[in-house]
Structure 1
């Protein structure tokens, strides 16, 4: 810069001298155009220090032109523009020398900035990760180096350390320039120092709320390391807390940081301007109804919270507004608007609230377009929509769409995703776009085998189709043969509609033989390590919705059982051709909402009551009545996490002796009941303190899960289970209400349309002492 100023100044003096020796034009003979002194005329412009392909860009920026008279002012402007418009150059020198023959030659000598070579080096960072510091540095490999960006990066690194509580951090920078390649290597050397801790948090001006209650709202805590970002969040949280306690005009007027002499301890002073506390005076609802009104003013008043006369909780009031908007959306009033205008009386501490609600027009469905079907017939989807009045001319009902998504998912695992989107056209009539994603594979053909500790060597063959002919028919045939009393022959068929009605039908024929191991107490006391049972039979099931969310089903079962099992005392007994004929009635209510798959409800609930009657006028050997209740709840949380709860209770009223119904009675333990225990490890203990090895006639167990989706087909889960069984000697279960408990974690993933569950549970009350148990199965949970 100094060079160019000196040279331009010299040039200006030369120009003045030459002008002084030039004869003046006669005043009486003015020239129509400016005359150019040939001695000052630019004959040539040259560039040094740049590549040939960049010359065009430089020429487009400078305003000095060949043929014009030289101008020191214009040369200075060219230098400024080259710096400003390119940012490419470390220094710019402009030389002017006589051209060959006559006139002048202007030479731009450009010194380019060096390029940054490789990654920026960071050394000395032990507490903060390289990536976090790298994100704060604006110097990037291959870019041109700039002193300002180096300074700015240094300040950002120091800021990053201060935000994490390292107020004593120091940063030095080093540049290593290679003049041959015009590159530069940059290194940040960091001395982190000791991380600062919070010694005190003091509040000033908090006349109505105690310091203790305010500190509870903060992430910043005394005795903990200071984090600037957390502290900034805390200031906002404190204001919200004041507003939720009625101090709507509260603000943080000032906050200061004080350091100890060695800068290792921090004292925070937060000054609060509380303002008056407000209570709710009067609600006024201005409601503009649609052609088909959704809610009355009285209904809106019932939704409002806080109520008149209560402290004005701003957060609670905002949640109320969201709830009202959601209620309108659910009823299809997508164009509704809800606005609130508060009127604060600071003198009396009262806020009157006016709600202006415009219901807008209800969206009416135009055409229904179904996209994405590859194999499934269009009518299979459309009949489910028509059943819920999702068709042209009907109102857009969000609840009906949620139910339709549920029913489409329940048709089978070949449905991978379901989306409903109204188009963006103006007006109250809008087409509905239904997008279905199908699994590319709906059939199953497998041949395989393996070895298991219970079944020994076994082979298995399966053939099935989940969407036969594209009509949602499901048919499966399975054959299995094992070396240790293990074989299976089964055929199943089901359809969601029969005879053009939404009546479900399913049937199955089976012949299965299984061996189960006994664990723990039974094995040690009686030397028996397994029991075997064989079931041969079939079932017919019919089901039909009674309303949008309620369903009734009836199942008929005919089954013969052979079993080598144990009686009440644990002694070996043998049952042959034990016949059961029963009818089961089930009533259920299902409001579950599925967003990703049939295995992962994200909200809603499922409740069922069932009654099974066996024997009596059906004849057969076994006579009993079974009463069961089952309930599951699902709550959406942040980041698509789901909190799920499940409780099941069942009571078996048997006329047949208990040991003859051992295979129908209750035992707990395993992945589907109480995890952390072996399968069927939890037996009832009778009133005399002895184990009833035939099982119980009463059962209660509960499961609580927190589900975390990692990907579309991978979910993590943490769980807590508890449960117990009782026999006939316990007429009042609450006299022996000692539930067995287990907890653990696991993962679940999609396996060709089926849910694979891998879980590990810790049983707190196992007979052999607390311990872990690994579980694996393929099939849904609750």
Structure 2
């Protein structure tokens, strides 16, 4: 017997694949979706897949009546074919009706508000599936723990130009929490009293069972155990439903497990940094061999390691070995460069043309020492020189030390012109009236942690400052000049609390808060010219919203209590003398306070002529930002700022005197590594009345962090 097989090879696809009839969707988009390719073997399976891919594209655009036909024609040679997809698009289908049935406890209007699928909008299958989940979640959060969707159907209208959606719901009873019962298994003694655990459960007994809030409270209990080292604990809530009465009882089963004890600590990923730099931070928080694994301590360690400025990722990973003792892997990722060198320049409204150079290192010799040298020179008497040195530890103790030596000269500008507050001076525009502000000195700060999240520090400042008002002409052509030279020696006491959480960058915490309060004392037993007390507060809050988007807010305030006699130092201001504490007073406006305004533009309006050029003795301002990370190095920012400065006593301040200045805008920030953050922001003033007929916005540029 002879059996003969006749085999015929599938043809190859010749030339490009043709698509006709497509007006609503471009050829390129369809080409990307189909699986057939020129030069490949043609077969029915791939052809069918391509057909379905085209139909899916049209469904996503609302063309549910679209159809596709496939044609193959002989090619120019044997065993080749040309392929053509013919599309009949039909009309775009919109949703005409959304019908809900079976819902007695919750109105159809409330349910429709939870849906993104809307009447007169095109139908999207993926969004509709999400809507079904939203409906169930809403029911479960409203006490209907056993609610379910009986059916959901889609049908076309008779004229086939619309879709009708029908959703049938079985609500079941609405449940109230009747009783929580606890069953806790532990080795020696329980980690927490049952009363404490039960108090954390939400909703409380007698309240409507909200599944979302209940699950949040369960997560809170787990976190409580984890923070005490019980990372092996298990928690199992077992419900018991009484449908006839509408009650639900819960048995909360907790197996505490053993507390993990750290066996060995393995520090991984370091290239430049010495391991002792990392280990001393861990030891100080009792993260070491033989200690219980404390999750709160690990979070604090991550924070402190990030704040050293040369790490971009910190992870703590316990080993998966059996038993109570576990190794702790500390996985670190150093920044590719901890040093920085930059040259730049530009033009600023306050300083004219300027050039800037900076060199620094955040991890000198791998010991976490930091050193930065910065210099700047420009027109309009702009000259700066600054040296900063720092170390996080001194003589084996967690006492940090920072020193700053500086010699800075800037030209500042008056606003609204001297004609608005000094009699006899004419034809002086705010754009031309400037003064020279020079400060040189040294400051030394010592600080150390005193509690888990609280640090205390003391700063000594020794500063010589002078201001020189450039010559201006009085009505009779007489040139007047004023000069003030003051010396400050002060001590500042500070308390700070820091709960910020960093994940990728020191400049972008994703949650937590940072707050400081300080008291500065100058003069008295310290000597020097200036005698004052200054009280300050500064608080920042960070909230992670969607993905890694962060809402950040900041509040800063200060009060200056002058103990220095006001004396004249020249004839420039016969009607308004220069305050001897000119250098310690408050001005706001600019990139670090209220954006959209010139630097130091916002000053009190309570002077004898409606304007106080000496600044204020009280200030408060707030910043609100929404930070959108674009990449690890680039972040976009939307902001709103508000603030003002005053001279009146607190008892005399009325609501109308507050007169807050506001600004809005947007910006971008570049993290260049090596402790260098570049900020470029544009602000628009909402309340600029200081400069007549000028409500234009302002670009702000700065190198360094904000809040």
Q: TM-score, normalised by structure 1?
A: 0.81
Query: Distance in 1 between the 2:418 and 2:62 partners?
Result: 60
Q: 1:343 to 1:139 in 2, by over 3 A?
A: farther
Report the CA distance between 1:521 and its aligned residue: 6.2
Report what 1:6 is aligned to.
none
> 5 Å matches for 1:498-647?
498-518=394-414, 526-528=428-430, 529=432, 530-565=434-469, 574-647=482-555
Q: Which has the larger radius of gyration?
A: 1
Q: 1:281 to 1:500 in 2, by over 3 A?
A: same
Report what 2:660 is aligned to.
739
Query: Distance in 2 between the 1:550 and 1:120 partners?
Result: 69
Q: 1:689 to 1:547 in 2, by over 3 A?
A: same
Query: Distance in 2 between the 1:238 and 1:521 partners?
Result: 63
Say if 1:333 and 1:359, in contact at 8 Å, map to a contact too.
Answer: yes
Report the CA distance between 1:620 and its aligned residue: 2.0
Report what 2:679 is aligned to.
757
* Alignment equivalent of 2:108, drawn from 211, 228, 231: 211
Query: Distance in 1 between the 2:609 and 2:159 partners?
Result: 68
> 5 Å matches for 1:42-61?
none
Report the CA distance between 1:638 and its aligned residue: 2.6
* Alignment equivalent of 2:625, drawn from 689, 698, 705: 705
Query: Distance in 1 between the 2:77 and 2:505 partners?
Result: 62
Q: 1:729 to 1:503 in 2, by over 3 A?
A: closer
Say if 1:167 and 1:263, in contact at 8 Å, map to a contact too.
Answer: no
> 5 Å matches for 1:297-316?
297-316=194-213
Q: 1:769 to 1:247 in 2, by over 3 A?
A: farther
Q: Which is further off, 155-164 or 451-460?
A: 451-460
Q: 1:120 to 1:667 in 2, by over 3 A?
A: farther
> 5 Å matches for 1:669-708?
669-686=589-606, 690-708=610-628
SS at match of 1:299: helix
Report the CA distance between 1:223 and its aligned residue: 3.1
Query: Distance in 1 between the 2:14 and 2:680 partners?
Result: 49
Say if 2:269 and 2:332, in contact at 8 Å, map to a contact too.
Answer: yes
Say if 2:436 and 2:470, in contact at 8 Å, map to a contact too.
Answer: no
> 5 Å matches for 1:263-342?
263-291=160-188, 293-342=190-239
Tell me: higher relative CO, structure 1 or 2? Use CA pairs within 8 A at least 6 residues apart. 2
| CA shift digits 1:204-230 (9 cap, x unpaired) | 221111111111110012233322221
Say if 1:566 and 1:659, in contact at 8 Å, map to a contact too.
Answer: no
Query: Distance in 2 between the 1:680 and 1:126 partners?
Result: 59
Say if 1:633 and 1:644, in contact at 8 Å, map to a contact too.
Answer: yes
Say if 1:552 and 1:587, in contact at 8 Å, map to a contact too.
Answer: yes
Report what 1:485 is aligned to.
381
Query: Distance in 1 between the 2:607 and 2:436 partners?
Result: 29
| CA shift digits 1:159-197 (9 cap, x unpaired) | 442344222333343434425264444343434344333
Report the CA distance between 1:109 and its aligned residue: 3.5
> 5 Å matches for 1:3-402?
40=1, 70=2, 75=3, 94=4, 108-117=5-14, 120-122=17-19, 125=22, 127-128=24-25, 133-134=30-31, 136-178=33-75, 180=77, 182-291=79-188, 293-402=190-299
Report the CA distance between 1:714 and its aligned residue: 1.7
Say if 2:588 and 2:594, in contact at 8 Å, map to a contact too.
Answer: yes
Q: Which is further off, 285-294 or 388-397?
A: 285-294
The answer to whether 1:469 aligns with 2:390 is no
Q: 1:446 to 1:688 in 2, by over 3 A?
A: closer
Q: 1:397 to 1:187 in 2, by over 3 A?
A: farther
Report what 1:5 is aligned to.
none
Report the CA distance between 1:333 and its aligned residue: 1.7
Q: 1:531 to 1:174 in 2, by over 3 A?
A: farther
Report the CA distance between 1:781 and its aligned residue: 1.2
The answer to whether 1:652 aligns with 2:560 is yes
The alignment covers a number of residue pairs equal to 676
| CA shift digits 1:298-353 (9 cap, x unpaired) | 11101101111111111221222222222222322221111111111111111111
Query: Distance in 2 between the 1:319 and 1:702 partners?
Result: 32
> 5 Å matches for 1:369-448?
369-411=266-308, 413-445=309-341
Report the CA distance between 1:357 and its aligned residue: 1.0
Query: Distance in 2 between the 1:418 and 1:607 partners?
Result: 24
Query: Distance in 1 between the 2:694 and 2:208 partners?
Result: 53
Say if 1:561 and 1:575, in contact at 8 Å, map to a contact too.
Answer: no
Q: 1:294 to 1:627 in 2, by over 3 A?
A: same
Query: Distance in 1 between the 2:111 and 2:656 partners?
Result: 46
Report the CA distance between 1:628 and its aligned residue: 1.0
Q: 1:748 to 1:160 in 2, by over 3 A?
A: same
Say if 1:575 and 1:660, in contact at 8 Å, map to a contact too.
Answer: no
Query: Distance in 2 between the 1:122 and 1:700 partners?
Result: 66
Q: 1:738 to 1:462 in 2, by over 3 A?
A: closer
Report the CA distance between 1:507 and its aligned residue: 1.5
Q: 1:757 to 1:687 in 2, by over 3 A?
A: same
Q: 1:763 to 1:338 in 2, by over 3 A?
A: same
Query: Distance in 2 between the 1:581 and 1:256 partners?
Result: 79
Report what 2:569 is aligned to.
none
Q: 1:466 to 1:526 in 2, by over 3 A?
A: same
Report the CA distance between 1:283 and its aligned residue: 0.8
Query: Distance in 2 between the 1:117 and 1:221 partners?
Result: 45
Report the CA distance between 1:123 and its aligned residue: 5.0
Query: Distance in 1 between the 2:695 and 2:84 partners?
Result: 55
Q: 1:176 to 1:565 in 2, by over 3 A?
A: farther
Say if 1:550 and 1:588, in contact at 8 Å, map to a contact too.
Answer: yes
Q: TM-score, normalised by structure 2?
A: 0.89
SS at match of 2:361: strand
Report the CA distance between 1:671 and its aligned residue: 1.4
Report what 1:776 is aligned to.
701
| CA shift digits 1:646-676 (9 cap, x unpaired) | 1111111223447333332222222111222
Q: Which has the higher helix share?
A: 1
Query: Distance in 1 between the 2:316 and 2:443 partners?
Result: 37
Report what 2:637 is aligned to.
717
User: What are the ranges of 5 or more consecutive residues in structure 1 without an aligned counterpart?
Assistant: 1-39, 41-69, 76-93, 95-107
| CA shift digits 1:519-539 (9 cap, x unpaired) | 566799842433321101111
